[in-house]
Amino acid sequence: MANKYAARKMFDEGVTAYIKNNFQHSVDLFSRAIQYDPSLALFYVCRGAASLKMEKARKALDDFNRAIKLDPLYARAYHLRGIAYEKLGDFASAFRDFDRSLEVDPEYAAAYHSRKYVIGKPKHSDTSSADFEMVHHLMALRLTQFDKKVPSDLAI
């Protein structure tokens, strides 16, 4: 049986280490969280992200693959796996993952941004421009939605 409390404690400490740019310690703590509860895709995504920061893209791929197996609708897992593929020079797989991330969450602006760099070569400039415009559109849309949710007495 998973020890959810211990897993959460290790996860929180891993996030703190990550924020402090102590990526190896972060990986170690996320690994301990996974030992306590291997069922959460978030733990694998975070460990993979820390591995990416240490330029260990192949190791990160394993974590992202595991996260996607646990949660096939985790847009960020596809996005980060795409970044790992990009770092390894596998641009076709990177592009597929950025696209998959956008299929799962069409408003995931980071995937548009990443995809822009993968397809930003001159022969794809029209698609790259469209992605750039989509990022700006989504940001404006989210700001509009935020303005609607913030009570007028809190507005600046």
- Summarised one tens digit per residue, pLDDT across range 60-69 is 999 999 999 9
What's the rounded Cα separation, in Å, for the pair 53 and 132?
Answer: 25
Q: Decide if pLDDT at 150 tops 50.
A: no
CB 81 within 8 Å of CB 68: yes
Mean pLDDT, rounded, for 40-58 = 96
Pair of tokens at residue 40: 């959460």
What's the rounded Cα separation, in Å, for the pair 147 and 123?
Answer: 39
Of 54, 33, 51, nearest to 42 by C-alpha is: 33
Candidate CATH numbers 1.10.8.60, 1.25.40.10, 1.10.150.120, 3.40.50.10210; the one for domain 4-151: 1.25.40.10
pLDDT (0 to 100) of residue 119:
75
Ranges of each domain in the chain: 4-151
Write the pLDDT tens digit of every residue in 93-138: 998 999 999 999 998 888 888 888 887 644 444 444 455 455 455 5
Residue labelled with tokens 């402090």: 20
What's the rounded Cα separation, in Å, for the pair 71 and 81?
Answer: 14
pLDDT range class, residue 152, cuts 50, 70, 90 = very low
Of 71, 68, 104, nearest to 84 by C-alpha is: 68
What's the rounded Cα separation, in Å, for the pair 78 and 84?
Answer: 10
pTM, entire model: 0.76
Helix 57-70 crosses helix 75-87 at what angle (to 10 degrees)?
Answer: 160
